[in-house]
Amino acid sequence: MVSSFCWSCLSRLRPTPRALLPPPPSAALRTAACFHTSTPRYANPTKKKANSVEVVKYRQAKSAKMKKKKTIERPRPPAVGERKALRKRIVLSNTNALEVQGMQDLSVENMVDRRLRGSVVGLPVPMLDQLRAVQAFKPTQGWSIFRRPGTVMRKETLEMARLFERIDTEGADKGKVFKRVITGMRGTGKSVHLLQAMAMGFLKKWVVITVPETQDLVIAHTAYAPLPDSQPTQYVQNNATADLLNRTVTANKEVLSGLHISQNHPALQSLLRPKMTLEDLARLGVQEPTISWPVFQALWSELTATSPAVNEKQFKPRPPMVVTVDGLAHWMMDSKYRSAEFEPIHAHDLVFVKHFLSLLKPGGAQPSLPNGGLLLYSTSASNNPTVYTFNVALKQLEARQAGVDPSSPEFPQPEPYRPVDERVLKLFDGAKPTSPKEGALELQTLSGLTKDEARGFMEYFARSGILRERITEEWVGEKWSLAGGGVIGELEKLGRRVRTMA
């Protein structure tokens, strides 16, 4: 059926304005209409995001809320030097330990007694203040676990006691100087061996001079200054020298107070009095560190004097000396000090160090200690810097002592392309001493205790109430093996472990 409207009639109709027509649907709406029956414009409104700005309510504070921090009460820091004093604190008595009945004290009579080998002898109580003054005790040693300090008489101790007898009695070795470098692995008792030498020196009324920590002299912790008129330039450490004088005069007060000045000292002429004792002379350097080095030189010349230059009536023969140095390796390299040109200063250029190292070298017509004595220089295994030249020098000294010729191919030599410090090698060269009263430099290596000595040492733990086990041959052999062949430091660790019997 044909419509009554023709195309011409339809074309005459007026078009509707665009504003009256609904807007054309977008592509998203057309797509959504294919899947939903409702129009997206009538959907629920979207929720606000969390980070959107909230509307401030009426009379609500706009400032941010700050939480108050809780005040933390911090303790007051320790005073200057308190931590070091606590770290170096020495405790020599434990009131909880048992008193060892029948323990002998070390004396002049029994220190050469072979029957005491392997037993522990006590250090005399009056001597403890002297040993403290020379800083013979170390914090790492087990003095605080016993009722009173004691030391084991091992084979090396008895041999050293015989050296004291040979120097002090009439004979071919009277007034002779013995020089030794003590080495050994960690825990073998090198520092205690030096302590035993100091104790014997005090018993014999000798003069004991010690350098307990060589590291303190080369790590730039003490003041230093160039020595006037020295070529090449040498450096003096006044404070360290004053400390040495203080240790010496405190520990040897009884001996120094009985000796008077007998030599001329032009550098101290205005400070000396006619009847001044060596104790008074040493205290001058303690009270005034700026003149400590001239005072030490004067004291050393007095102790090594063989005849008087002044005050002949008051002159007394000087006693022998015991000189101990612990930690020798620190003196075999450059120190932490700097010169005016900011070049490192070698330890041998410090006059303090140079003086004690010169004692190892063979002297001239007279020995280094004209009145006799004992020089004991020890290495350290727990605080030991690696110095290649020093290790080579010790190997050469050991080979020379064993009879190996320096021209032999078996004689240790430094590697061709390794830097070598000639000053260190010359210090330990094989020059023979010219004086019959001066012995050659020897190398002594400490090892572990024997099984008999270890048994006596462990019995001392049991008698002190620390070790609660039955001491048998099998038990001693087991602990001796666990201690690396009787290393006394390891035996102490095994003995101080308290066990209760079932």
- pLDDT exceeds cutoff 70 at 280: yes
Tens digit of each residue's pLDDT (9 = 90 or more) over 204-217: 999 999 999 999 99
Among residues 218, 209, 193, which one has the least CA distance to residue 387? 218
Tens digit of each residue's pLDDT (9 = 90 or more) over 311-334: 888 899 999 999 999 999 999 999
475, amino acid identity: W
260, amino acid identity: H
Least confident of 45-54, 402-411, 419-428, 490-499: 45-54
pLDDT band at 418 (very low <50, low <70, confident <90, very high): very high
pLDDT band at 87 (very low <50, low <70, confident <90, very high): confident
- pLDDT exceeds cutoff 60 at 499: no
| Helix (DSSP H) and strand (DSSP E) numbers for the chain | 16, 11
- pLDDT exceeds cutoff 50 at 29: no
pLDDT of residue 6: 60
Beta-carbon contacts of 191 under 8 Å, excluding residues fewer than 6 positions away, are 138, 141, 326, 378, 380
Tens digit of each residue's pLDDT (9 = 90 or more) over 100-119: 998 999 999 999 999 999 99
Tens digit of each residue's pLDDT (9 = 90 or more) over 376-386: 999 998 888 99
Token couple for 384:
């030991």
* Averaged pLDDT score across all residues of the chain: 87
- pLDDT exceeds cutoff 90 at 54: no
pLDDT of residue 149: 94
Tens digit of each residue's pLDDT (9 = 90 or more) over 433-471: 888 888 889 999 999 999 999 999 999 999 998 888 889
- pLDDT exceeds cutoff 70 at 36: no
403 dihedral zone (left: phi>0; alpha: psi -120 to 50; beta): left
pTM of the predicted protein model: 0.82
- pLDDT exceeds cutoff 80 at 163: yes
Dihedral angle, C-alpha 137, 141, 145, 149, nearest 10 °? -40
Tens digit of each residue's pLDDT (9 = 90 or more) over 116-140: 999 999 999 999 999 999 999 999 8
pLDDT of residue 250: 96
- How far is Cα 180 from Cα 104, in angstroms, rounded to an integer? 28
> What average pLDDT score do residues 242-250 get?
96
Residue with the two structure tokens 């302590």: 195
SS3 at position 439: strand
pLDDT band at 349 (very low <50, low <70, confident <90, very high): very high
Cis bond upstream, residue 228 (ω within 30)? no
Say if CB 293 and CB 355 are below 8 A apart.
no
pLDDT of residue 468: 85
DSSP state of 350: B
